[in-house]
Amino acid sequence: MTFNLRFENEDDGDNAWACRRALAVEVIKHYQPDILGTQEGKWSQITYLSDQLPEYAPFLPGREPDPVIQCPTLFFRKQAIEILTGGEFWLSETPEVHLSKSWDSAFPRMMSWAEIQMAGCEKNLIAAVTHLDHMGPTARLEQARMIQDWAARQKAPIILMGDFNDAPASPAHDILTCGRLRDTWLMANQHDSPSSFTRHRFDGIPLIARLDWVLADACFQVREVMIVHDHTDGRYPSDHFPYVAILDC
């Protein structure tokens, strides 16, 4: 599951995190993804999910508590997955520099990855989560190229989740799917239409495009994909619909 949480912002009023965080937990518990990749989570949101989801282990390699920044974060269901190694890097010309940004990126952007052993799978896998910039088209292209170059160097099969802030027909999508990775939505023979758009304004009315993707190596078989429209009494867990891909390794 890839899930843009929408950062903790009191200006959201009735849709502020405190008003919907329990629903976010309910959605995760209902679908029980073995691998969960979140975006926009502030430290308080990540720790809340960790406290409310004791069956999951957040992967925070070397990350220091920071009340301001929003980081893409991996959570793994403990019963299904053993974390072996991993790391994080910034999507900039200086990826080792904390909070660095380049090109026309409005904010620092990051990728987090972990090599894992999954129950029932003979091979180690790599799970990764990212969030490309929402303002800079050059930044999205360069960030996609960085990730593509990183993916080409990995030996284990990869699952890459994220909010890519771009449409499936975009240059960033082309770059990320021109090598070993494939779009699971398209692998499942789904078509893009307004019903597959994943952004909304907390009202469930799809906007813009299918911005949230799960990309995977071609060796994975896609059993099922779904865009999660769950809500309670008109309240949604975020301003993005989570996206779930069920894969066989």
In the chain, % of residues over pLDDT 90: 97
- Kindly report, residue by residue over 39-54, the tens digit of the pLDDT: 999 999 999 999 999 9
Question: Which residue, 230, 105, 249, is CA-closest to 241?
Answer: 230
Average pLDDT over residues 84-88: 97
CA distances from 134 to 40, 106, 164 (A): 12, 7, 8
Average pLDDT over residues 85-113: 98
- Quote the DSSP letter at residue 15: G
Quote the pLDDT of residue 193.
Answer: 95
Question: Quick check: 76 and 35 in contact, CB under 8 A?
Answer: yes
What is the CB neighbour count within 10 angstroms for residue 90?
A: 21
Mean pLDDT score of the chain, rounded to an integer?
97
Q: Which domains does the chain have, with CATH numbers?
A: 2-248 (3.60.10.10)
Give me the DSSP letters along 194-249.
GGG--B-SSSS--BS---EEEEEETTSEEEEEEE----BTTB-SSSB--EEEEEE-
- Residue 65's SS3 state is coil
d(CA 61, CA 162): 18
d(CA 3, CA 72): 10
- pLDDT bracket for residue 122 (50, 70, 90): confident
- pLDDT bracket for residue 62 (50, 70, 90): confident
- pLDDT bracket for residue 229 (50, 70, 90): very high
Prediction pTM value: 0.96
d(CA 42, CA 16): 13
- Kindly report, residue by residue over 152-165, the tens digit of the pLDDT: 999 999 999 999 99
In the chain, % of residues over pLDDT 70: 100
- Kindly report, residue by residue over 191-221, the tens digit of the pLDDT: 999 999 999 999 999 999 999 999 999 999 9
For 147, phi then psi, to 5°, come to: -65, -40
CA distances from 52 to 27, 46, 56, 58, 218 (A): 12, 10, 9, 12, 34
- Taking the alpha carbons of 188, 189, 190, 191 in that order, is the dihedral positive or negative? positive
